[in-house]
Amino acid sequence: MASGFTSTGLNYPLLSIPAYYVVSLVPHMYAMNILGANGYKPNNANPRASLAPANVQGKVPEDVFKRYQRAENAQSNNHEQMPLFAAAVLASLFAERIATPAIKIGGTSDIDPTGLATYIGLFFAVRAAYNVAYITIADHSKSFIRSGLWSVGAGLSIYQLFKVAQVLG
């Protein structure tokens, strides 16, 4: 079955874009949870200001503050990766439609010229590992694990776009 088309009529690769957005919020939810567990209550009337590092530091234990910062930074990085991910997914869907025009939503085929389903699965797995690494690794010497995972995730998206370019000629 082509990666974008299923018998349910839903285009799951296209839905992976909003799914990634929701998943990218997990580090922020974790950050809010650890702040709340340590007695910090953000002001929802002005949440960005009340969650600014200068307003949080000193109001929770230092290790909690550092974990909070890393979680918020992980979320920001997730959002920074989203345009490249979305471009790779959309370009792949376009290439599949061009390369295999007979495939319609709800149709069946074993063709997946761009490997889109594999790309999406790998990207989500790498980004999940990246988030865990970002939040949990506080040691500089181990932080290169996070950087390596970031590189793999970005590389997957770039490679996916390269495969699309090959399919489209």
Q: Residue 106's pLDDT is what?
A: 39
The domain that contains 21 carries what CATH number?
1.20.120
Each residue's pLDDT expressed in tens, for the chain with a length of 169 residues: 455 555 567 889 999 999 999 999 999 999 999 999 999 999 999 999 999 999 999 999 999 999 999 999 999 999 999 999 999 999 999 998 887 765 444 344 556 778 899 999 999 999 999 999 999 999 999 999 999 999 999 999 999 999 999 988 8
Q: How many domains does the chain have?
A: 1
Residue 5 resides in a domain: no
Q: Residue 1's pLDDT is what?
A: 43
Residue labelled with tokens 């990207």: 123
Residue 7 resides in a domain: no
Residue 122 resides in a domain: yes
How far apart are the C-alpha atoms of 166 and 169, rounded to whole Å?
5
Domain region containing 133: 12-168
Q: Residue 96's pLDDT is what?
A: 86
C-beta of residue 122 within 8 angstroms of C-beta of residue 85: no
3-state secondary structure of 75: helix
Q: Residue 98's pLDDT is what?
A: 84
Q: Residue 79's pLDDT is what?
A: 97
Whole-angstrom CA distances from 153 to 32, 55, 134 are 25, 32, 14
C-beta of residue 116 within 8 angstroms of C-beta of residue 13: yes
Average pLDDT, rounded, for the chain: 90
Strands (E), the chain: none
Residue type, 114: T
Q: Residue 111's pLDDT is what?
A: 61
Whole-angstrom CA distances from 106 to 3, 10, 92, 102 are 12, 8, 18, 11
How far apart are the C-alpha atoms of 20 and 22, rounded to whole Å?
5
Q: Alpha helix locations (H) across 6-141?
A: 12-24, 26-37, 47-50, 53-56, 62-99, 116-136
Q: Residue 4's pLDDT is what?
A: 53
| Contacts (Cβ under 8 Å, ≥6 apart) of 94 | 164, 168
- Kindly report, residue by residue over 72-102, the tens digit of the pLDDT: 999 999 999 999 999 999 999 999 888 776 5
How far apart are the C-alpha atoms of 113 and 9, rounded to whole Å?
20
